Amino acid sequence: MKRTCLILLTLLLSACGSTTLSQHARSSSELLTGGQVAGDAASLYWASFRQSKPESLSERVWMGEYGEYQTDYRWREGRLRELKRTGTALKDNAVQPFELHVRYDPHGEAVFQRYKVGDAVYPLSDIQLNQLSQQAEQVMDVVKSQSRDGLELVQGLWDGQRLIRCDNQKALTVEALQTTLPGYVALVGKPQGPGKLTAETVLLNRTATQSCIERPVLLGEAS
């Protein structure tokens, strides 16, 4: 039961010839970002699409005292084909490291699975394998919905008046930002022209020194 709870907890949250063609295909890839908060869990998302089809998804998730994890997903021809997740989670009254790796065939059936907690390896049920693929699709839907609304993931250093973006070091005036302590902030917001941003949801706010959180890559670059 505790093993099942661990899995379910991690599932809740609810890039002259062939060279020219390859460069053209790569340039058509679109990166969208987003995030959400559900209960005590905060998630940051990076999703790429090629010709409107899902290509890859990376996420960072923090679950408070229950641990944290990062996941890397890969699609091929619009079908989820592989995912890898690493992190820590609560099991047997202790936060333990875990690793999860699954590969799917073109029909969505799992053809490889490995779930390791500490030094022990456990099997995944068909229900759990389906939940993993459903979670990936749900996150993609969240990112696409936020993008349609003009929202994106923004990270920076908040000094109480301005947000200095992590990606380009530009200062932003942020509207609708609820009480936030000076320090690192990750939020979902909507750019409102040069130097302005409207905050939608604060995902993380850390007063300690915090570097920008980079997109996790666990499976190598998307082909």
DSSP letters of 9-30?
Answer: HHHH----THHHHHHHHHHTEE
Q: Which domains does the chain have, with CATH numbers?
A: 2-147 (no CATH), 152-206 (2.40.50)
Phi-psi region of 51 (alpha: psi -120 to 50; beta: other; left: phi over 0): left
Residues in the chain predicted with pLDDT less than 50, given as ranges, are: 1-26, 223
Q: State the pLDDT at residue 1.
A: 43
Q: State the pLDDT at residue 208.
A: 66
**Two structure tokens written together for 166:** 């992590």
Q: State the pLDDT at residue 196.
A: 93
pLDDT tens for 175-200 read 988 777 889 999 999 999 889 999 99
Q: State the pLDDT at residue 220.
A: 75
Nearest residue to 98 (alpha-carbon basis) of 14, 7, 12, 11: 7
Scan for tokens 């995030």, then name that residue: 35
Entry pTM: 0.85
**CB distance 109 to 80 below 8 Å:** no
